[in-house]
Amino acid sequence: MPVTLKDIAREAGVSIATVSKVLRDEPETFIGARTRDKVVTVARQLGYRQNLHARTLRLGKSELIGLMAYDVTTRVALLRLQAADRAIRERGYRTAVWIAAARQDAELRALEECQSSMADGLLLIQPSAELTVEALKPLLESGIPVVTMAQVPGVDLDCVTVDRKVGGYLAIDHLIRLGHRRIAYIHGDQRYETDRSRTEGYVQAFTEHGLEVDRTLFVEAGAGYRNGYRAAQELLSRGGDQTAVFCNNDENAIGAMRAFREAGLRIPEDLAVVGFDNLEASEFAPVPLTTISQPIEEQSHLAVERLFQRLEPGFDAPEPHFVSLPPQLVIRESCGGNADA
């Protein structure tokens, strides 16, 4: 049903080879202006569209980059995905997006599909905790370049990430300087390096200030507003004496804010709150949120850049490289006055 080179060739009275050459305008090949025109017009007339499968099969490369994210309802994951997608398309490649959250085994399936579709490279936007060495092994052995935006335990990949430890440190240091000593912490799934790092930053800040960490002020929360809300409720029910809360991300923080305010606490007077990510939403939170800003665009760009370096024919760097970008503290109103004031 679809129009092929053969159809054009027949209609234009030339060979398939000629059509192919014209349509790709193959360099160093001489095709008469008359035939060239003829072919082009016929192709347009018939509504020809190149068949990518045939092309890929013949060429042995797809000019396709796989993009995988575990949960795109997490806003930062989506923003990274979008930035990466754009950067890749700007380089003339296409993208294949896998949203793993769709099903449990979706991530493994995605890896298989990645190979099956002959993707030239893979960008792990946000690997899940289930993504292990064994799962990645076949892919890596097949020699396709993989760059990740969050470390995968036990696998030594090219990695362009954000230094969440610094992020956690900045947040807690800010709170301590403001005089807080009892700082609750709504943290994420500690199986993830990205979540553990924040915790490390928390601890480091306390240690540096000669303070002791009290883990009874720690609560775990899943993604999203509601989970932050629940975690805050849990914190309240424990009756802890926290004067501040550091949240794993802005959505958690905004959710938590509601719980605290429902309990009659004023922010920042009775309780200081710090988020993480600097989403647009954080600026429009009930109380504008002091938070940690991640360089999402830069991270995505660097990751894509690295991937394309690996794609370069001559490129040969056996040892994966590791980049960790620094986040920044963004001060708004949820912690009260400026620390240095």
Strand-strand pairing, 218-220 and 244-247? unpaired
| Candidate list 27, 32, 92, 141; residue touching its own copies; CB under 8 A | 141
Residue 211 within binding range of DNA, rule CB under 7 A: no
Placement of tokens 């999402």 in the chain:
296
- Could you say which residues in the range 5-34 bind DNA, by CB under 7 A? 5-6, 13-18, 20-21, 23-24, 26, 29-32, 34
> DSSP character for 213?
-
> DSSP character for 124?
E
Number of neighbouring beta carbons within 10 Å of residue 271: 23
Tell me the CA distances in angstroms from 32 to 22, 37, 41, 48, one per residue in order: 10, 9, 14, 21
| Nearest approach, Cβ of residue 9 and DNA (Å) | 7
| Candidate list 41, 51, 190, 207; residue touching DNA; CB under 7 A | 51
| Candidate list 10, 13, 26, 57; residue touching its own copies; CB under 8 A | 57
The b/e string for 124-148 (b: 16+ C-beta within 10 A; e otherwise) is bbbbbeebeeebbeebeeeebbbbb
3-class secondary structure, 329: strand
Phi-psi region of 264 (alpha: psi -120 to 50; beta: other; left: phi over 0): left
| Nearest approach, Cβ of residue 87 and its own copies (Å) | 9
Whichever of 9 and 259 has its CB closer to its own copies, that residue is 259
Q: For the window 54-73, what string marks contact with DNA as x by the rule CB under 7 A? A: xx-xxxx-------------
3-class secondary structure, 207: helix
Site residues (vs its own copies, CB under 8 A):
1-2, 47, 49-54, 56-57, 62, 72-73, 78-79, 81-82, 85-86, 89-90, 94, 96-97, 99, 101-103, 106, 112-113, 115-118, 138, 141-143, 224-226, 229, 254-255, 257-258, 280-281, 283-286
Site residues (vs DNA, CB under 7 A):
2, 4-6, 13-18, 20-21, 23-24, 26, 29-32, 34-36, 48-51, 54-55, 57-60
